[in-house]
Amino acid sequence: MATGRTHRPATRSRGIPEATVARLPLYLRALTALSERSVPTVSSEELAAAAGVNSAKLRKDFSYLGSYGTRGVGYDVEYLVYQISRELGLTQDWPVVIVGIGNLGAALANYGGFASRGFRVAALIDADPAMAGKPVAGIPVQHTDDLEKIIEGNGVSIGVIATPAGAAQPVCDRLVAAGVTSILNFAPTVLSVPDGVDVRKVDLSIELQILAFHEQRKAGEEAAAETAAVTLTPKEAGKGPDGDVPAVMPA
């Protein structure tokens, strides 16, 4: 997961498990596609396949929202779209600011997926005075000096941080002080925020590292299949599983 929450003791929000909440957007996306193809109903089996989960999980997830299906038939697509949208709070408009208009910030500003789901890019903010006034994705970039004014003037409660790592915490502090209570962080840093503020992080490098781990493991398995138990029995080959002796030793 390129993602994860920070802080906060995993409270069950309105009785809906966090894991379920994280899948609702997935179901919504699949349902929207069906809706566009004018499909009237889906079974849990079909929808689960489209969303990439198994059907038992999907039914359990939906059971937290209520009894929205019809036994022997399935789920009404339009109705489910509405219910999930409402549950996720997408029936209202969410003004969002993006701070840090580098490559990534510009990519985010141009990303179509925002607008389509109730999110509106209310402002782009950057610390570089040379950027000020320049339009990115049709929106003029504003200077960091006006951050508080922008947040308060637009009633923004969701902020996206796409600054370099060093700038992230100060920006975060200012966003929070100005009233932002949800932050999506793309900077490779741990942000500390007061209680009541949600932080979600996306870290590209972390995702790749997780893939590398599994990739390495695949390679190791192939090798192991060839050399098939030469010296050690597969089970219990000494404590700390060392490969080669490292150059550095512990104190």
Partner DNA sequence: CTTTGTGAAGTCGTTCACAGCA
Partner DNA sequence: TGCTGTGAACGACTTCACAAAG
Q: Where are the beta strands (DSSP E) in the chain?
A: 41-42, 69-70, 74-76, 94-99, 119-126, 135-136, 139-143, 158-161, 182-185, 198-201
Residue 72 engages DNA in binding (rule: CB under 7 A): yes
Q: Which of 6, 7, 25, 59 binds DNA (CB under 7 A)?
A: 59
Query: Does 248 interact with DNA (rule: CB under 7 A)?
Result: no
Of 63-71, 122-130, 147-155, 170-178, the window that binds a copy of itself (rule: CB under 8 A) is 63-71
Cα–Cα distance for residue pair 39/233, rounded to 1 Å = 56
What are the residues whose beta carbons fall under 8 Å from the beta carbon of 73, sequence distance 6 or more? 41, 43
Q: Which span sits near a copy of itself by CB under 8 A: 21-29, 138-146, 147-155, 225-233?
A: 21-29
Per CB under 8 A, does 215 bind a copy of itself?
Answer: yes
- Cβ count within 10 A of residue 236: 7
Cβ 4 vs Cβ 210: under 8 Å? no
Closest CA relative to residue 82, chosen from 140, 19, 31, 144: 31
Q: Is 18 in the site for DNA (CB under 7 A)?
A: yes
Residue among 1, 9, 228, 241 that touches DNA (CB under 7 A) = 9
* x/- track of binding to a copy of itself for residues 90-129 (CB under 8 A): x-x-x-x-----xxx-xxx-xx-xx-xxxx----------
What residues from 31 to 50 belong to the interface with DNA (CB under 7 A)?
42-45
| Cα–Cα distance measured from residue 210 to residue 208, given in angstroms and rounded to the nearest whole number | 5
Reported as half-sphere exposure (CB side, CA atoms, 13 A), residue 170 has a value of: 10
Does residue 60 belong to the site contacting DNA (CB under 7 A)? yes
Which pair of structure tokens corresponds to residue 86? 């409402």
Contacts with a copy of itself, 194-213, as mask; x by CB under 8 A:
--x-x-xxxxxxxxxxxxxx
Would you tell me which residues interact with DNA (CB under 7 A)? 9-10, 12, 17-20, 42-45, 53-57, 59-60, 62-63, 67-75
